Structure 1
């Protein structure tokens, strides 16, 4: 289990070309943007255009009539099997993925090969990155409600169909959670310790099978969710590189991010946040079946654990894993202070 990449990005200062240039200069790859564009053009034809919002560990373009081509650092590669599992659980919003080998570096040179980028293609899902249109959606309750109901379907699909078939995987997840909770307790600022004590209560529920372990998107942030601005429906969930089997609820920070946003003066929930949260859980219960108080409590604990891991730990793209607790002055801890009290 790794901590997730989290990089609060002021969109009003985002520069697409600078972001792409920084990726190629900082990733250590021997491939160039021009080589990547040429591969996409040769393989799929048509015009090649960078997508409006680039990832931290990849360069992504559209090509041909309906293709997305992504060039990823090998430390952050996609697993076709995992993507297939995600597509089986969420067929409406996950695109199939095809690996096309490496670009940059010579196969005979191990050091150069390691700096090459992995190439993937997938169908181009429609919609805008949610982070770009959250403000406009917030002006319309019907649009907000459509987004929340789409998110309900996504989480209900995880609950019902995204579970591992191997009991050993559940055991592995429990052991990873135990180690992560201990690490958080030893290293997070003191004010978060009561929450860490609480989340340990989920461990017996995981061991007994009362709380499900499910396939979980490892970075379900506002940039990886695509939404149709005309109707508010979620049209895509992208970037499954960090997906793994985790306790259900570890990614519920995605719900918080549909109910509010971080502003210059701190976290702000939208006016309809309470109503939308109630609608989420009413619809979720309708889709998965009535939930007992103990199950709702375990989901609450899982949400808190997911928040602590996501916003309380740091991620190193070179190592491809969590490397330590965030600095106490890190602005990301503002999210913890705000969302843990929600």
Structure 2
């Protein structure tokens, strides 16, 4: 979703780099069963609900939504029934990740929309409206492109280290908000499994069809460790940790937050660590994805910061590594086909994905990185930091209560609209 720039629909990125043009926008409405005149209805909704503000389409559009700029602080987003946001999840995300996650308010439905036809695969033709408070900055993908265009790549190491420390902080926040699968809260239903969490075993079965004996050995290993991974700590996990969804300060490169939490769900901690690999290199024409020369050093920067915030003794690193490999297999081993995630990547058709899959699976493990950090004589006060894990859940709950009493979170939609209009 365009809480800053891009969007995902499934377990793989859909359109981190889809740039604005009328054909893309029209395709969104048609694809979801709406007449193209529905766009006019959405634009009219923005004009009526926010008079005096000039609502214009964002420079990038998501696969699952139509998004308008309202002001420097707010975005208005339209989503079909099939891609509605779970507002409880939005609240949990904000409570756990604080300033690194957007604030979202549900405004209702667009009235008098026009549909093409009733199609069973499209579902209900309703169009839902959300107001998002922006996360400041620009996407990391854009930040890196700008630096290349301006010939300023010489000091990228400094920016990459800043990024890794920022990512480590976000992952640490997720870890502190963890819940064990067998916890009373999980059994009571306050934490429910989502699309990926419910289907990990089935999806791993699909991956037995991966090309190459080496990849199938990784799948076999993941299957043998699945019970242990499922029994580990579960965290509210971002659904697509990619450069297009990481917002950074345009001048300093510091991480300001993550956008596109539409597919966030509770998953075993470590499954989103494929995102660390995603930012340690870039796509090179004719070569595919290639790591930066200092990628191993940057991994240690990440783990040094992460472990300083959580403590090595607060987690089972073997389980985290097993979850990391499972995440890589699911996110890079299953193809994205217009939102469907039921096809294994194929040689000759998804070669870039297969190349990245192999590269990530052969990367240094969590245990290797944590041991290197430890052997570098980095001193942590484990007694101090590990206690954070025991109290962070309560802090998160208090933060959520505070957010509901202040700001946009938890306020009725009309008061938020008045705030956007500058009337409060």
TM-score, L = length of structure 1? 0.86
Name the CA shift for 1:341/1:295 in 2 (closer, same or farther; >3 Å): same
Following the alignment from structure 2 to structure 1, what is the Cα–Cα distance between the partners of residues 127 and 355? Answer: 35
What secondary structure, in the 3-state scheme, does the structure 2 residue paired with 1:251 have?
helix
Larger Rg: 2
**Partner in structure 2 of residue 23 of structure 1:** 28
Q: Which residue of 2 aligns with 1:157?
A: 173
1:123-272 paired onto structure 2 within 5 Å:
123-135=133-145, 136=147, 139-163=155-179, 165-167=185-187, 176-185=199-208, 187-191=209-213, 192-206=215-229, 209=231, 211-264=232-285, 265-272=287-294
Q: 2:343 aligns with which of 313, 324, 332?
A: 324
Q: CA deviation at 1:58?
A: 0.9
42-51 vs 22-31, which deviates more?
22-31
* SS of match in other structure, 1:252: helix
Unaligned runs of 5+ in 2: 1-8, 364-424
What count of residue pairs does the alignment treat as equivalent? 333
Post-superposition CA distance 1:296-326 (Å, at most 9, x none): 2322221221111112213454xx5523223
Deviation, structure 1 residue 76:
1.7
* 1:308 aligned partner: 329
TM-score of the pair, normalised by structure 2: 0.70
Query: What is the rounded CA distance, in whole Å, between the counterparts of 1:8 and 1:242 in structure 2?
Result: 14
1:110 deviates by 11
In the alignment, the residues of structure 2 paired with residue 85 and residue 8 of structure 1 have an alpha-carbon distance, to the nearest angstrom, of 25
Which residue is 2:48 aligned to? 42
Which sits farther off after the overlay, 277-286 or 234-243? 234-243
Within 2, Cα distance between the matches of 1:54 and 1:8? 8
- Selected match of 2:304 from 251, 263, 282: 282
Q: Secondary structure at the match of 2:320?
A: helix
Q: Give the counterpart of 1:52 among 40, 47, 59.
A: 59
Change (3 A) 1:163 1:229: farther
The alpha carbon displacement at 1:197 in A equals 1.5
After superposition, where does 1:112-131 map in structure 2 within 5 Å?
A: 114-131=124-141
> How far does residue 3 in structure 1 lie from its aligned partner after superposition?
4.9
Mapped contact 2:108–2:129 kept (Cα < 8 A): yes
